[in-house]
């Protein structure tokens, strides 16, 4: 058939292509003139490529008369049918009626509903359950001609104009026009069903002036209005006095989340900015959530960030690689926009549309390997803001716009930026009560800063944020591997900030800097990487069941995260203890409310800051410094916390377990105190036994949970061993932990130091011999001499109780009495670790069999690795940190049975 196509746009171009493909002769294409920048309409471009005649008409008629030259041009083509796929011009009836089969028009609604120009919008605004398209015969009314064919589809609750158009109206519309033309060509009397006037609706064109949201209607109607105008022309309102267009609406059926109130003009209730967007109220008290906002300055932002502090970022220096990225972005923009650029050129104001957004994103991925989303283009519409977003993405910086209150500390030839407020929902906020506690530097007793101290009400807010993130946030929808990617990224950022973290740890906990770099921070980084690798290796089993004929059954198990986990950690390795627990907990897919030790919480807050840069979604990690009996207890008691991971003393562990049983019955794993024996036989490598023996006690100034709490030395070498130990202890350099030559820093805090001094006093009172040390150093700071207490008998206080400090407690055992010393080593209520030094491997392995401890060292000590499970027996608790076992502490098993 000879066809003239009258219309425009990509839709028109696709109609042109399909009709041509299916053997019709397109005798001419009538479309609009090139745009202001000289760019032809896509329909014109498609036709010109094939050498088809193209007419770019400004107008068809003058004073109600068709222009003669237009009429003549048209007539000469000899078209048998006019196809109008999408046409914004008024086409005179002389042209409509001239061809043998006259003219058919595509209309994106189920006529007679929604006649007029904004039909898709009104389909959604009216909440229609069905949408569709009509191909009708043109007449002289507005969308009134008889119907040739119609196609319909179901409307989903959150469909927007774009979604409906892309999913159905565009692809099916093209097929429908093709089908309609075939019907005309192949049938004698193609359908002409007259439209029923009683069901007809006519609605006005939607423009900005009639797109202000009316809040005096139910939430569903508000939702329909917003999605019915999304993205063009966009529903708008006034928030805090600023005109804002809203996108990405959904009905909110969950609990009202925690958030910040925002004033809404002409609404009975303020809106709420929260981690997943902005909540708006209808007059029925129900709510609608919107995800993006277009601000007055043309910038699109996530609704969750409305009203946050200044978010402009400027890139400082670009590397040569980044210069190349900028240059290729410039090329892509130029080829799309067909014009010169400057830094402020706005992609959309320069004429780009939604297809150009797709093209920009795809070309950037192709040329520079940077994967941005369509929304990133809307949110960064100017050239320089887009370049910035792309470069930050290439640097792996999720959100370089992140602003927070902090203190600056100058130390170790560095300027440290230190957050000191509670971290909830990816924001640093003060405690609701305003409470703070000072962070003291144990090396000189100075105040580093005031740290916010969380109370019960802050715990409630943080748990709600974590629950929301677990149940509905991006975290819950993310693939396991993507979670791993975030964790790897966090580990990389920790590596980049390693010196800063180690300095902070040193200042806040008294850790010797060189040890902090290697162990406190180094092992923390390894822990994050180790568990990041586990995220996509968590799976269950397939279990065959006894068959119940004639059907078959099969069960499989799934390992699922538990939910919101409360983590409570001590002060001895502040960041490492946090990392051991949190990395395993997050790898399993849970969300976290962490209470670090009140006395050393700064590196946990710094970790929180880095997690934002790594791209962790809001609510996944929440960090609440505060007192154990207040904040810690509130986490333990909270009904929405499903599991507690605790490291600390046995006494507090017992109390926590009791609370977990009494109030909510939650799972708990406890890494508790220890009194770990180290047995040294005379047949050992004595040099090594002395060197490692010292480390087993004085490593990290004795503030080490697996520290050897009691050394048993065989009678034969007892005096020699003690002499050599004291010689070595005298050589230990005590002092400023940031001094690289120092090996022994201050104790963590004053109360702990006082406890240690009492411990030594008690030992001596009961008859132990103080061979070395035992005193506080006469200088500022919480320094204690490395101490050696010997001739300790089994019934003494120091033989039974943990010191958690730099105090070596030594007892003698009878030559060759393996059984006796094993019994004495096990005669403690704890069971965290144990060690033995001997060259007799049989003896060593027999000891290893008989030690009642979760970790046993042979001819070594303190050698832990992220892949080796760590945790105690007896009153040292249960549940493991590290290794494959640890991830299971944060998973629960679900069994699913199928019949087939």
Q: Is 5 part of any known ligand binding site? A: no
- Residue 161 backbone phi and psi in degrees, to 5: -60, -45
Retrieve residue 331's tokens: 């090329």
Q: Which residues ranging from 692 to 751 are in contact with ligand NAP (CB under 6 A)?
A: 705
CA distance 217 to 213: 10
Q: Which stretch binds ligand NAP (CB under 6 A): 272-280, 289-297, 379-387, 642-650?
A: 642-650
Retrieve residue 557's tokens: 């198990």
Q: Is 632 part of any known ligand binding site? A: yes
Active site residue 671: yes
Rounded to a whole number of angstroms, the minimum distance from the CB of residue 660 to ligand NAP is 10
Candidates 481, 539, 629, 765: give the one binding ligand NAP (CB under 6 A).
629
- Residue 16 backbone phi and psi in degrees, to 5: -55, -45
> Residue 875's closest CA among 817, 835, 821, 827?
827
Q: Is 802 part of any known ligand binding site? A: yes
Q: Is 803 part of any known ligand binding site? A: yes
Is residue 716 within 8 Å of 681, Cβ to Cβ?
no
Rounded to a whole number of angstroms, the minimum distance from the CB of residue 625 to ligand NAP is 8
Is residue 787 within 8 Å of 660, Cβ to Cβ?
no
Is residue 785 within 8 Å of 773, Cβ to Cβ?
yes
Candidates 633, 743, 803, 888: give the one binding ligand NAP (CB under 6 A).
633
Is residue 767 within 8 Å of 617, Cβ to Cβ?
no
Residue 842 neighbours by CB under 8 Å, 6+ apart: none
505 is a site residue for ligand NAP (CB under 6 A): no
Complete DSSP assignment for 314-326: ---PPPHHHHHHH
Candidates 437, 649, 664, 850: give the one binding ligand NAP (CB under 6 A).
649
Candidates 671, 714, 785, 889: give the one binding ligand NAP (CB under 6 A).
671
654 is a site residue for ligand NAP (CB under 6 A): no
508 is a site residue for ligand NAP (CB under 6 A): no
Catalytic residue among 671, 703, 714, 889: 671
Q: Which stretch binds ligand NAP (CB under 6 A): 273-281, 456-464, 645-653, 792-800?
A: 645-653
Indicate the residue among 595 and 643 with the shorter CB distance to ligand NAP: 595
Q: Is 754 part of any known ligand binding site? A: no
Indicate the residue among 479 and 658 with the shorter CB distance to ligand NAP: 658
> What are the distances in angstroms from CA 674 to CA 9, 43, 799?
75, 78, 12
Indicate the residue among 217 and 649 with the shorter CB distance to ligand NAP: 649
Complete DSSP assignment for 40-68: PPHHHHHHHHTT--EEE-S-SEETTEE-H
Indicate the residue among 281 and 646 with the shorter CB distance to ligand NAP: 646
> Residue 87's closest CA among 77, 98, 95, 79?
95
Active site residue 480: no
Indicate the residue among 651 and 814 with the shorter CB distance to ligand NAP: 651
Indicate the residue among 258 and 659 with the shorter CB distance to ligand NAP: 659
N- to C-terminal Cα separation, the chain: 54
Indicate the residue among 82 and 647 with the shorter CB distance to ligand NAP: 647
Q: Which stretch binds ligand NAP (CB under 6 A): 101-109, 233-241, 527-535, 668-676?
A: 668-676
CA distance 92 to 242: 45
Q: What is the chain's length?
A: 900
- Residue 384 backbone phi and psi in degrees, to 5: -70, -35
Report which secondary-structure segment, H or E, holds 510.
Answer: none
Q: Is 628 part of any known ligand binding site? A: yes
169 is a site residue for ligand NAP (CB under 6 A): no
Q: Is 321 part of any known ligand binding site? A: no
Rounded to a whole number of angstroms, the minimum distance from the CB of residue 480 to ligand NAP is 27
Q: Is 45 part of any known ligand binding site? A: no
579 is a site residue for ligand NAP (CB under 6 A): no
- Residue 99 backbone phi and psi in degrees, to 5: -65, 160
CA distance 350 to 357: 13
Active site residue 705: yes
CA distance 508 to 511: 8
Complete DSSP assignment for 276-320: TEEEEE-TTS-EEEEEEEE-TTS-EEEGGGTT-S-------PPPH
Catalytic residue among 24, 107, 274, 749: 107
- The gap from C-alpha 528 to its chain's centroid, in whole angstroms, comes to 15
Helices and strands, counts by H and E, the chain: 29, 38
Indicate the residue among 224 and 862 with the shorter CB distance to ligand NAP: 862
Coil, helix or strand for 508? helix
> What are the distances in angstroms from CA 387 to CA 149, 312, 338, 362, 374?
48, 13, 18, 15, 14
441 is a site residue for ligand NAP (CB under 6 A): no
Q: Which stretch binds ligand NAP (CB under 6 A): 463-471, 644-652, 683-691, 731-739?
A: 644-652
CA distance 192 to 190: 7
Return the beta strands (E) in 619-778 as ranges.
Answer: 621-623, 641-647, 667-671, 676-680, 708-714, 769-772
Q: Which residues ranging from 15 to 54 are in contact with ligand NAP (CB under 6 A)?
A: none
Candidates 117, 627, 764, 770: give the one binding ligand NAP (CB under 6 A).
627
Parallel, antiparallel, or unpaired for β 287-294 and 242-252?
A: antiparallel
Q: Which residues ranging from 868 to 887 are in contact with ligand NAP (CB under 6 A)?
A: 872, 876
Q: Which stretch binds ligand NAP (CB under 6 A): 585-593, 650-658, 834-842, 883-891?
A: 650-658
Q: Name beta bridge partners: 837.
A: 680
427 is a site residue for ligand NAP (CB under 6 A): no
CA distance 819 to 838: 15
Catalytic residue among 427, 705, 785, 889: 705
Q: Which stretch binds ligand NAP (CB under 6 A): 14-22, 82-90, 539-547, 649-657?
A: 649-657
Instruction: Tell me the per-residue interface mask from 807 to 846 with ligand NAP, x by CB under 6 A, - otherwise.
Output: -------------------------x--------------
81 is a site residue for ligand NAP (CB under 6 A): no
Q: Which residues ranging from 592 to 621 are in contact with ligand NAP (CB under 6 A)?
A: 595, 597-598
Indicate the residue among 110 and 636 with the shorter CB distance to ligand NAP: 636
CA distance 276 to 291: 7
CA distance 438 to 453: 10
Rounded to a whole number of angstroms, the minimum distance from the CB of residue 535 to ligand NAP is 23
Q: Name beta bridge partners: 731.
A: none
CA distance 346 to 493: 33
Q: Which stretch binds ligand NAP (CB under 6 A): 21-29, 225-233, 410-418, 566-574?
A: 566-574
Candidates 147, 517, 568, 678: give the one binding ligand NAP (CB under 6 A).
568
295 is a site residue for ligand NAP (CB under 6 A): no
Candidates 7, 228, 673, 745: give the one binding ligand NAP (CB under 6 A).
673
Helix axes 498-509, 480-496, angle to 10 degrees: 70
Q: Is 649 part of any known ligand binding site? A: yes
Q: Is 89 part of any known ligand binding site? A: yes
454 is a site residue for ligand NAP (CB under 6 A): no
792 is a site residue for ligand NAP (CB under 6 A): no
Indicate the residue among 611 and 633 with the shorter CB distance to ligand NAP: 633
Q: Which stretch binds ligand NAP (CB under 6 A): 88-96, 488-496, 625-633, 683-691?
A: 625-633
Binding residues: 89-91, 143, 628-633, 648-649, 755, 802-804
Q: Name the site residues for ligand NAP (rule: CB under 6 A).
A: 568-572, 577, 595, 597-598, 627-629, 632-633, 636, 647-649, 652, 655-656, 671-674, 705, 802, 804, 832, 872, 876
Annotated binding-site residues for (6R)-10-formyltetrahydrofolate read 89-91, 143
Binding residues for NADP(+): 628-633, 648-649, 755, 802-804
Residues catalogued as catalytic: 107, 671, 705
């Amino acid at each position: 058939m000879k066809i003239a196509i009258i219309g425009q746009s990509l839709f028109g171009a696709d109609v042109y292509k399909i009709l041509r493909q299916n053997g019709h002769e397109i005798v001419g294409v009538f479309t609009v003139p090139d745009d202001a920048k000289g760019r032809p309409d896509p329909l014109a471009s498609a036709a010109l490529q094939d050498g088809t005649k193209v007419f770019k008409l400004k107008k068809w008629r003058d004073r109600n008369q068709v222009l003669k030259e237009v009429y003549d041009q048209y007539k000469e083509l000899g078209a048998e049918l006019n196809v109008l796929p999408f046409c914004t011009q008024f086409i005179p009836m002389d042209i409509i009626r001239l061809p043998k089969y006259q003219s058919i028009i595509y209309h994106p609604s189920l006529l007679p509903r929604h006649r007029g120009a904004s039909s898709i919008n009104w389909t959604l605004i009216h909440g229609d359950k069905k949408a569709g398209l009509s191909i009708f015969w043109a007449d002289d009314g507005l969308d009134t001609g008889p119907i040739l064919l119609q196609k319909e589809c179901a409307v989903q609750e959150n469909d927007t104009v774009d979604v409906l158009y892309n999913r159905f109206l565009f692809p099916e519309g093209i097929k429908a026009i093709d089908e309609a033309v075939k019907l005309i060509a192949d049938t004698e009397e193609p359908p002409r069903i007259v439209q029923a006037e009683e069901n007809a609706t006519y609605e006005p064109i939607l423009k900005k002036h009639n797109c202000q949201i009316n809040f005096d209607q139910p939430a569903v109607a508000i939702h329909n209005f917003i999605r019915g105008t999304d993205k063009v022309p966009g529903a708008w309102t006034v928030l805090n006095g600023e005109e804002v267009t809203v996108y990405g609406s959904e009905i909110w059926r969950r609990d009202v989340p925690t958030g910040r109130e925002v004033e809404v003009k002409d609404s009975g209730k303020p809106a709420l900015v929260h981690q997943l967007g902005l909540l708006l109220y209808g007059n029925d008290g129900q709510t609608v959530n919107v995800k993006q906002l277009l601000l007055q300055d043309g910038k699109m932002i996530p609704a969750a960030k409305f009203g946050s502090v200044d978010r402009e970022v400027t890139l400082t220096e670009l590397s040569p690689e980044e210069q190349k990225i900028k240059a290729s972005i410039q090329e892509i923009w130029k080829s799309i926009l067909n014009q010169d650029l400057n830094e402020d050129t706005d992609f959309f104001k320069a004429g780009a549309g939604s297809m150009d957004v797709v093209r920009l994103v795809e070309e950037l991925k192709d040329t520079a390997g940077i994967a941005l989303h369509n929304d990133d283009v809307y949110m960064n519409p100017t050239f320089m803001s887009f370049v910035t977003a792309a470069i930050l993405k290439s640097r792996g910086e999720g959100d370089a716009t992140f602003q927070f209150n902090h203190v600056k500390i100058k130390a170790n030839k560095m300027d440290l930026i230190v957050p000191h407020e509670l971290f909830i929902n990816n924001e640093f906020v003060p405690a609701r009560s305003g409470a703070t506690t000072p962070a003291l530097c144990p090396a000189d007793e100075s105040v580093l800063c005031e740290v916010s101290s969380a109370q019960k009400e802050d715990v409630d807010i943080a748990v709600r944020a974590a629950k929301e993130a677990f149940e509905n946030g991006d975290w819950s929808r993310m693939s396991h591997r993507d979670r791993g990617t975030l964790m790897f990224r966090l580990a990389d950022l920790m590596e980049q900030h390693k010196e800063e973290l180690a300095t902070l740890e040193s200042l806040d906990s008294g850790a010797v800097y060189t040890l902090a770099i290697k162990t406190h921070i180094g092992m923390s980084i390894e822990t994050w990487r180790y568990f990041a690798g586990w995220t996509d290796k968590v799976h269950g089993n397939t279990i065959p069941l006894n068959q119940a004929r004639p059907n078959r059954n099969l069960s499989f198990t799934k390992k699922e995260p538990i939910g919101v986990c409360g983590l409570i950690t001590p002060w001895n390795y502040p960041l490492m203890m946090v990392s051991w627990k949190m990395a395993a907990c997050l790898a399993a897919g849970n969300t976290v409310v962490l209470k670090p030790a009140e006395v050393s919480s700064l590196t946990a807050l710094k970790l929180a800051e880095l997690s934002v840069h790594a791209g962790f979604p809001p609510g996944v990690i929440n960090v609440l410094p505060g007192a154990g009996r207040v904040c810690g207890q509130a986490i333990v008691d909270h009904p929405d916390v499903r599991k507690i991971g605790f490291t600390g003393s046995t006494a507090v562990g017992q109390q926590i377990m009791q609370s977990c049983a009494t109030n909510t019955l939650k799972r708990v794993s406890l890494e508790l105190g220890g009194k770990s024996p180290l047995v040294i036989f005379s047949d050992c490598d004595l040099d090594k036994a002395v060197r490692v023996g010292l480390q087993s006690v004085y490593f990290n100034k004795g503030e080490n949970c697996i520290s050897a709490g009691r050394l048993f030395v065989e009678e034969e070498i007892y005096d020699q061993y003690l002499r050599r130990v004291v010689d070595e202890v005298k050589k230990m350099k005590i002092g400023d932990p940031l001094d690289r030559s120092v090996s022994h820093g201050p104790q963590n805090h004053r109360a702990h130091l006082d406890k240690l001094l009492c411990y030594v006093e008690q030992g001596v009172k009961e008859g132990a011999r103080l061979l070395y040390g035992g005193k506080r150093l006469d200088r500022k700071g919480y320094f204690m001499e490395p101490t050696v207490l010997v001739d300790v008998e089994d019934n003494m206080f120091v033989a039974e109780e943990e010191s958690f400090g730099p105090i070596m407690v030594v007892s003698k055992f009878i030559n060759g009495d393996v059984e006796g010393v094993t019994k004495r080593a096990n005669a403690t209520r704890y069971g965290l670790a144990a060690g033995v030094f001997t060259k007799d491997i049989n003896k060593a392995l027999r000891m290893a069999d008989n030690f009642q401890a979760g970790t046993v060292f042979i001819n070594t000590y303190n050698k832990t690795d992220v892949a080796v499970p760590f945790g105690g027996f007896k009153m040292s608790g249960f549940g493991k940190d590290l290794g494959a076992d640890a991830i299971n502490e944060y998973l629960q098993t679900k069994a699913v049975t199928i019949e087939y």
